[in-house]
Amino acid sequence: MKVAYLGPNGSFSEEAALKTFVDSTIDWQLCGSILEVLEAVGDRKVDKGIVPIENSIEGTINITADGLLANNLFIESEVIFPVSLRLLVNEGVQLEDVQEVWSITPALAQCKEFIRENQVKTKEFDSTSSAAKALKEQGRIDAGAIASSAAARLFGLQIASTKVQDNGENHTRFLVVGKRSADVLPFHKRNKIMLLIAPALDQSGVLSSILNVFSALSINLTWIESRPTKKRLGTYHFFIEAETGKDEAKTGKALKILRAFGHEVQVLGSYDTNRL
């Protein structure tokens, strides 16, 4: 089986992937961006991909949400992974020497207070590990990379600070995705479902009316995200995740009611949660 994740080696995506897929026969494909991972699955170059969708500090990673739809992917499971960000530097560099920090955009966003307090500039990379790799290759003594302890060991960098993220309780939620097809069924014995709902009409209170359907059926919602449809300014569809399996009776009722109201409802996945 081929599995894609965001590289290069030393990324948090790699750590999550290696702990999720423990089969030693996995053929790994390292990708240069989150979108590249999703496209690899969508084009059937790999069987599965693992990508970050949400961080407990920064929130939704929009490129993942949009990429799920663009590549017609299906969510097979979710993985909750603890994240410990570090400031990595080249040998001999002190914290006060750092004038610029490098990392992927979500990681930089998780360290806003550290960046503000130290009055440093930022530079965006496609992953935490690519930032660490570039720092080592360039030998910069005025820059640091926000990445993992594993990246520090891999690239021979020093840890200048372990207190860079805004909150010590930092977790990232990853999704394992595959190409939408019959082989991802059946849905039974799953504890979550992800829906994409396109409202029938663009009118006041439409989201409230949608949420009332779940409330009336005592279905707990764990994630709601609105994203532009990219068709017309001001039009949105909603990602809604609920704690219910696709095969449960109340789930079927909710889908039937929403569709009766004229809303377009697509099931993006029915899956279990794994905590690493």
* 126 and 111 in a common domain: yes
Cα–Cα distance for residue pair 110/58, rounded to 1 Å: 6
* CATH code of the domain covering residue 208: 3.30.70.260
Please, which pLDDT band fits residue 175 given cuts at 50, 70 and 90?
Answer: very high
Please, which pLDDT band fits residue 67 given cuts at 50, 70 and 90?
Answer: very high
Q: According to the 3-state scheme, what is the secondary structure of 66-118?
A: HHHHHCCEEEEEEEEEECCCEEEECCCCCHHHCCEEEEEHHHHHCCHHHHHHH
Residues of the domain holding 242: 187-275
Q: Which residues pair with 173 in a beta bridge?
A: 54, 80
DSSP helix, strand, coil percent of the chain (3-state; round to 5): 30, 35, 35
**Alpha-carbon torsion (104, 105, 107, 112), positive or negative:** positive
Q: Pick the most confident of 58-62, 182-186, 203-207.
A: 58-62
* 66 and 8 in a common domain: yes
Per-residue pLDDT of 75-96, as tens digits, reads 999 999 998 999 999 999 999 9
- Look at residue 116 and tell me whether its pLDDT is greater than 90: yes
State mean pLDDT over 216-228.
94
The residue out of 152, 180, 208 marking a domain boundary is 180
- Look at residue 164 and tell me whether its pLDDT is greater than 90: yes
* 79 and 2 in a common domain: yes
Q: Pick the most confident of 5-14, 16-25, 211-220.
A: 211-220
| 55: CB partners within 8 A, 6+ apart | 61, 83, 106, 110, 170, 171, 172, 173
CA 109, distance to chain mean position in Å, is: 14
pLDDT score for 235:
82
* 77 and 92 in a common domain: no
* 193 and 235 in a common domain: yes
**Closest of 210, 117, 127, 121 to residue 161, by C-alpha:** 117
Please, which pLDDT band fits residue 170 given cuts at 50, 70 and 90?
Answer: confident
| 50: CB partners within 8 A, 6+ apart | 3, 4, 5, 13, 16, 17, 20, 21, 37, 79, 174, 175, 176, 177
pLDDT score for 53:
95
pTM confidence score: 0.84
Cα–Cα distance for residue pair 276/160, rounded to 1 Å: 26
**Alpha-carbon torsion (198, 200, 203, 206), positive or negative:** negative
* 42 and 176 in a common domain: yes
With a pLDDT cut of 90, the percent of the chain lying above it is 76
* 176 within 8 A of 56, measured Cβ to Cβ: no
* 110 and 77 in a common domain: no
Give the position of tokens 């999704």.
Answer: 175
Mean pLDDT over all residues of the chain? 91
pLDDT score for 168:
81
State mean pLDDT over 185-212.
82
Q: DSSP of 205-248, one letter per residue?
A: THHHHHHHHHHHTTPPEEEEEEEE-SSSTT-EEEEEEESS-TTS
Cα–Cα distance for residue pair 177/194, rounded to 1 Å: 12
* 175 and 46 in a common domain: yes
* 176 and 41 in a common domain: yes
* 263 and 128 in a common domain: no
* CATH code of the domain covering residue 112: 3.40.190.10
Q: Considering all CA atoms of the chain, what is the largest pairwise distance in Å, rounded to the nearest integer?
A: 66
pLDDT score for 167:
87
Please, which pLDDT band fits residue 191 given cuts at 50, 70 and 90?
Answer: confident
State mean pLDDT over 49-69.
92
pLDDT score for 22:
86
* 127 and 103 in a common domain: yes
pLDDT score for 8:
86
Cα–Cα distance for residue pair 269/276, rounded to 1 Å: 21
> Cα-Cα-Cα-Cα dihedral of 68, 73, 74, 79, to 10°?
-50
What are residue 263's phi and psi, to 5 degrees? -75, 145
* 174 and 213 in a common domain: no
**Count: domains in the chain:** 3
